[in-house]
């Protein structure tokens, strides 16, 4: 008489364990949720909004594409305010007033994640004028981006190194991005934002 309840309990435990295993596996290798921490991606994404990020395609060899909104680990310079190339020094010692962006990131990545848009591919020549990207000598079509004014909104061109990507927030006047700490290596890009799921009124594709 006791065998059936025991068997049911064992089956329940196994079911929960299997479900938990697949949930953790999916999050680790396929889809993972992230929360937008700042206003840097306005008007596309708002502070507190939650997104799902496709990690799987990048793990099997798919590379970021121009215009993708991505989650990534920024260079350590994003926190320390330093460029990675010898002689370029800390960002704010010369700062954006010099119109000069880092050509390479710091060699180590930070202990945080950012959400930005891919605006420059490996080998592209990137400049910024009034917050808008000039890619290989032509102004990019960016209906999602805001104009801005100020020294940080106008940067001289650099060439994005092989295997790296130039990332910027859509809120060009309020975004800490590749203009300041350089392009991001491919291996530091976690995945592409594919959909927003919270709050419910803003559910939709990115």
Report the 3 state secondary structure along the chain. Answer: CCHHHHHHHHHHHHHHHHHHHHHHHHHHHCEEEEECCCCCCCCCCCCCCEEEEECHHHHCCCCCCCCCEEEECCECHHHHCECCCCCCCEHHHHCHHHCCCCCCCCCCECCCCEEEEEEECCCCEEEEECCEEEECCEECCCCCCCCCCCHHHCEEEEECCCCEEEEECCCCCCCCCHHHHCCEEHHHEEEEEEEEEECHHHCEEC
Whole-angstrom Cα distance, residue 102 to residue 118?
16
Matching residue, tokens 């010692």: 93
Residues marked as catalytic: 40, 116
Supply the mean pLDDT for the chain.
81
Q: What is the pLDDT along the chain (206 residues), one digit of tens a residue?
A: 455 666 656 665 555 554 444 444 445 556 788 999 899 999 999 999 999 998 877 766 689 999 999 999 998 877 766 676 554 544 444 555 566 777 777 788 888 999 999 999 999 999 999 999 999 999 999 999 988 887 778 888 889 999 999 999 999 999 989 888 889 999 999 999 999 988 888 888 88
Express each pLDDT in 166-190 by its tens digit.
999 999 999 989 888 889 999 999 9
End-to-end CA distance of the chain: 55
Q: Give this prediction's pTM.
A: 0.80
| CATH numbers and ranges of domains, the chain | 34-205 (2.10.109.10)
170 and 41 Cβ atoms separated by less than 8 Å? yes
Whole-angstrom Cα distance, residue 196 to residue 206?
7
pLDDT of residue 15: 57
């Amino acid at each position: 008489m006791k065998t059936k309840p025991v068997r049911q309990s064992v089956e329940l435990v196994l079911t929960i364990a299997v479900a938990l295993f697949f949930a953790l596996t999916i999050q680790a290798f396929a889809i993972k949720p992230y929360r937008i921490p700042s206003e840097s991606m306005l008007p596309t994404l708002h502070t507190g909004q939650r997104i799902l990020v496709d990690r799987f395609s990048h793990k099997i060899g798919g590379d970021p594409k121009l215009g993708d909104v991505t989650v990534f680990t920024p260079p350590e310079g994003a926190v320390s305010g330093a460029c990675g190339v010898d002689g370029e020094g800390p960002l704010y010692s010369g700062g954006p007033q010099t119109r000069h962006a880092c050509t390479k990131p710091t060699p180590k990545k930070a202990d945080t994640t950012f959400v930005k848009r891919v605006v420059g591919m490996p080998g592209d020549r990137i400049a910024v004028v009034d917050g808008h990207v000039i890619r290989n000598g032509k102004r990019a079509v960016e209906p999602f981006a805001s104009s801005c004014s100020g020294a940080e909104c106008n940067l001289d061109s650099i060439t994005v190194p092989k295997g790296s990507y130039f990332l910027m927030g859509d809120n060009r006047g309020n975004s800490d991005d590749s203009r300041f700490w350089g392009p991001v290596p491919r291996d530091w890009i976690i995945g592409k934002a594919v959909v927003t799921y919270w709050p419910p009124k803003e559910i939709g594709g990115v």
